[in-house]
């Protein structure tokens, strides 16, 4: 249709024989065409008018376009010309697409919101990430985070090392070298796999003592993290103190201070940072001995532990203040670490509160980017799905009802983890059997808000206290008809979100997790390969102490052969595992994540 032609189309209308001037007018004015059958004089008259209008409109358009162009070039132009930018990378550990369905329905139920009400994060989805590692179709968080930090696949358990046990430089290390400021904000131990992968290199993720030392700068690159907020204090304290979980008597808090860190360890000191305005870099804030409690429990202990969004907001404020006069911005990683744990525990009530807390932190980051004058972007994704979560559950052998009930999640005021801990503590006082029954009834009624439990439920908790965690969680799962297929991870694709789908265009669609890692380094324009080279050169003859006092390489012991499967195609094959029984009961919760 002629009417669909762009006004300033290069093909001059007059060059087209089939179109006369009236049509041309119609094009310019948007008025319908009236074929003109008047004499030549009138025709000439209208032709001149047409040309005049055309000239005026063209002139006005040129002027308007020039003005609009000048205005539309943002005030940020001088900064982006010098390359200044901020990158916030958010990780929702263990959050699969189904976690969003679960949490969205729960939110609507709780708020009495209509069914089209979304979470904030829902409105920013741009793609999906495929999560397999080099050693398995099901990744762990170590290989998952190595894909982000190094943009490389490695084996499950690898903390930014390659399958052949060489260190790979990380985006955070490269950002630091390039003059950016850097930060890590998590709700788990700061030494856990996801944060560790940005600022440490070890062959086995369970070596958290070694990771703690490296993260405060005791490794080939020296200090690279300007700000750390999270839990995991016990890995920093010498084994001579009560709160320690270290195998040795090294005082890593002292080591951190020697390397310049300002150390804080409680809510009061966190509040003393005055929203970030009083924060002094470098900063190490460890607010819990191990993990910060689940949000479902923490919200009642707000005087003891900061929330994820509070920590994120303080970090954003302080980092942007500190880089105000710099030509480089900052790189901040924010992790909703314990969505994964709620998946491992198969605890749907704990999970929805973790996802809501993540959504809140996500909103804080969006607000910051909106208001900040430096150009910046947030990319958010998960390392993998946990639990094989289904918002459905077949409870009986008859054809299932199509039903899922948020109510039981809303009734629960505590996590199964917390009830389990309280039960274990209670057992230490050697209570009588009837006292135990009363205690357990109370914990179910008050902790989970469940009224219709049975004697069988209590008996299960009495008989198998080591599995109380799973039993408590199961009470909520069955009533809400929430399904879980594993206490571990699954191979599901996970979602990718961004504050800016245009700037993150490379991540729109379905991608390999390593492409997320590649995007991070490309956005910051940092040289990660140079860091890899430096790590390998400086680390060649660098030794450390092994668990039994022997001398080993600085990245610690190498895992058994079976754990370091290599390459993109090597996968373990089926060998009759389904027959293996046992190890289902009588074993405590193995929360290896």
Residues annotated as catalytic are: 141
Contact between 450 and ligand NAG (CB under 6 A)?
yes
Contact between 241 and ligand NAG (CB under 6 A)?
no
Tell which residue, 307, 336, 331, 292, has the closest CA to residue 96: 336
Contact between 347 and Zn ion (CB under 5 A)?
no
- When CB distances are held under 5 to 8 angstroms depending on the partner's kind, the choice from Zn ion, ligand NAG, none that residue 406 binds is none
* CA gap 68, 310 in Å, rounded: 39
Considering only CA atoms, give the Rg of the chain: 30
Contact between 479 and ligand NAG (CB under 6 A)?
yes
Contact between 249 and ligand NAG (CB under 6 A)?
yes
Residue 383 annotated as part of some ligand binding site: yes
Tell which residue, 344, 334, 392, has the closest CA to residue 365: 334
CB nearer to ligand NAG: give 479 or 521: 479
Residue 537 annotated as part of some ligand binding site: no
Residue 25 annotated as part of some ligand binding site: no
Q: Give me the least distance between CB of 144 and Zn ion, in Å please.
A: 9
Q: Give me the least distance between CB of 515 and Zn ion, in Å please.
A: 22
CB 191 within 8 A of CB 232: yes
- When CB distances are held under 5 to 8 angstroms depending on the partner's kind, the choice from Zn ion, ligand NAG, none that residue 432 binds is none
Q: Which residues have C-beta within 8 Å of that of residue 146, sequence separation ≥ 6? A: 152, 153, 154, 158, 159, 160, 161, 168, 197
- Region 406-435 residues binding ligand NAG, contact defined as CB under 6 A: 408, 411
CB nearer to ligand NAG: give 94 or 408: 408
Residue 344 annotated as part of some ligand binding site: yes
Maximum Cα interatomic distance, the chain, rounded to a whole number of Å = 114
Residue 511 annotated as part of some ligand binding site: no
C-alpha distances out from residue 259 to 172, 201, 284, 553, Å: 18, 19, 11, 22
C-alpha distances out from residue 280 to 227, 262, 263, 275, Å: 9, 7, 10, 12
CB 127 within 8 A of CB 508: yes
Tell which residue, 231, 145, 159, has the closest CA to residue 190: 231
Residue from 12, 550, 551, 568 that binds ligand NAG (CB under 6 A)? Answer: 550
- When CB distances are held under 5 to 8 angstroms depending on the partner's kind, the choice from Zn ion, ligand NAG, none that residue 593 binds is Zn ion
* CA gap 322, 317 in Å, rounded: 9
* CA gap 498, 423 in Å, rounded: 42
Residue from 449, 483, 517, 559 that binds ligand NAG (CB under 6 A)? Answer: 449
Q: Give me the least distance between CB of 132 and ligand NAG, in Å please.
A: 29
Structure token pair of residue 232? 């995991």
- Region 451-470 residues binding ligand NAG, contact defined as CB under 6 A: 451-452
Tell which residue, 94, 139, 131, has the closest CA to residue 565: 139
**x/- string (CB under 5 A) for Zn ion, residues 296-335?**
----------------------------------------
CB nearer to Zn ion: give 313 or 340: 340
Residue from 548, 568, 569, 573 that binds ligand NAG (CB under 6 A)? Answer: 548
Q: In what order do the strands lie in the sheet with 181-189?
A: 262-264, 283-286, 227-231, 181-189, 330-336, 86-92, 376-381, 494-498, 125-130, 509-512
Point out the residue whose Cβ comes nearest to Zn ion. Answer: 593
Residue from 208, 213, 289, 340 that binds Zn ion (CB under 5 A)? Answer: 340
Q: Binding residues for ligand NAG, how many (CB under 6 A)?
A: 15
Contact between 441 and ligand NAG (CB under 6 A)?
no
Q: Give me the least distance between CB of 133 and Zn ion, in Å please.
A: 13
Residue from 14, 36, 101, 239 that binds ligand NAG (CB under 6 A)? Answer: 239
Q: Give me the least distance between CB of 256 and ligand NAG, in Å please.
A: 18
Residue from 233, 298, 345, 593 that binds Zn ion (CB under 5 A)? Answer: 593
* CA gap 384, 98 in Å, rounded: 12
Strand partners, 228: 184, 284
Report the number of secondary-structure helices (H) and strands (E) in the chain.
Answer: 22, 14
Going by the annotation, the residues of the binding site for Mg(2+) are 93, 192, 194, 335, 344
Query: Binding site membership for Zn(2+): which residues?
Result: 93, 340, 383-384, 489
Residues that bind ligand NAG (CB under 6 A): 239, 248-249, 408, 411, 449-452, 479, 546-548, 550, 557
């Amino acid at each position: 249709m002629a009417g669909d032609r762009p006004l300033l189309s290069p093909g001059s209308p007059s060059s087209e024989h089939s179109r006369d001037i009236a049509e041309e007018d119609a094009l310019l004015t948007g008025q319908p065409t009236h074929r003109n059958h008047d004499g030549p004089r009138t025709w000439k008259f209208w032709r001149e008018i047409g040309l005049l209008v055309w000239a005026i409109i063209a002139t006005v358009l040129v002027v308007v376009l020039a003005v609009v162009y000048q205005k539309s070039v943002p005030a940020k132009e001088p900064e982006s010309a010098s390359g200044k930018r901020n990158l916030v990378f958010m990780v929702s550990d263990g959050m699969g697409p189904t976690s969003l369905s679960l949490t969205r329905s729960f939110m609507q139920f709780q708020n009495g919101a209509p069914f089209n009400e979304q979470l904030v994060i829902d409105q920013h989805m741009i793609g999906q990430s495929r999560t397999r590692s080099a050693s398995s179709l099901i990744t762990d968080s170590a290989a998952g985070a190595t894909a982000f930090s190094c943009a490389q696949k490695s084996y499950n358990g690898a903390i930014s090392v390659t399958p052949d046990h060489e260190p790979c430089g990380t985006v955070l290390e490269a950002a630091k070298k390039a003059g950016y400021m850097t930060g890590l904000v998590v709700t788990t131990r700061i030494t856990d796999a996801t944060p560790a992968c940005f600022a440490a290199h070890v062959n086995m993720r369970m070596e958290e003592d070694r990771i703690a030392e490296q993260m405060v700068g005791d490794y080939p690159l020296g200090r690279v993290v300007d700000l750390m907020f999270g839990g995991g204090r016990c890995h920093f304290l010498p084994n001579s103190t009560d709160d320690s979980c270290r195998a040795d008597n090294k005082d890593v808090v002292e080591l951190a201070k020697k390397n310049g860190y300002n150390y804080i360890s409680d809510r009061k000191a966190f509040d003393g940072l005055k929203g970030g305005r009083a924060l002094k870099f470098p900063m190490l804030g460890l607010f819990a001995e191990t993990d910060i409690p689940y949000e479902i429990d923490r919200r009642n202990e707000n005087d003891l532990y900061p929330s994820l969004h509070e920590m994120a907001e303080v970090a954003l404020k302080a980092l942007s203040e500190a880089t105000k006069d710099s030509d480089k911005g900052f790189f901040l990683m924010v992790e909703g670490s314990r969505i994964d744990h709620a998946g491992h525990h198969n605890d749907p009530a704990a999970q929805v509160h973790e996802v809501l807390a993540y959504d809140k932190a996500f909103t804080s980051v969006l607000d910051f980017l909106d208001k900040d004058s430096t150009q910046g972007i947030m990319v958010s994704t998960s390392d993998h799905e946990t639990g094989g979560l289904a918002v459905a559950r077949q409870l009986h052998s008859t054809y299932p009802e199509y039903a899922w009930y948020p109510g039981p999640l809303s009734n629960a005021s505590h996590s199964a983890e917390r009830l389990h801990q309280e039960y274990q503590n209670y057992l230490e006082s050697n209570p009588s059997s009837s006292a135990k029954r009363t205690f357990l009834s109370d914990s179910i009624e008050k902790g989970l808000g469940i009224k219709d439990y049975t004697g069988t439920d209590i008996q299960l908790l009495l008989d198998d206290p080591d599995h109380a965690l799973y039993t408590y969680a199961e009470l909520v799962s069955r009533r809400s008809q929430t399904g879980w297929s594993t206490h571990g991870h699954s191979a599901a694709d996970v979602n990718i979100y961004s504050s800016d789908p245009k700037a993150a265009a490379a991540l729109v669609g379905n991608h390999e997790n390593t492409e997320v890692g590649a995007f991070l380094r490309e956005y910051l324009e940092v040289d990660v390969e140079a860091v890899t080279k430096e790590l390998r050169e400086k680390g060649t003859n660098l030794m450390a102490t092994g668990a039994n006092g022997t001398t080993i390489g600085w990245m610690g012991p190498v895992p058994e052969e079976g754990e370091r499967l290599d390459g993109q195609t090597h996968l373990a094959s089926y060998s009759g595992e389904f027959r293996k029984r046992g190890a289902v009961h009588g074993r405590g919760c193995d929360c290896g994540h």
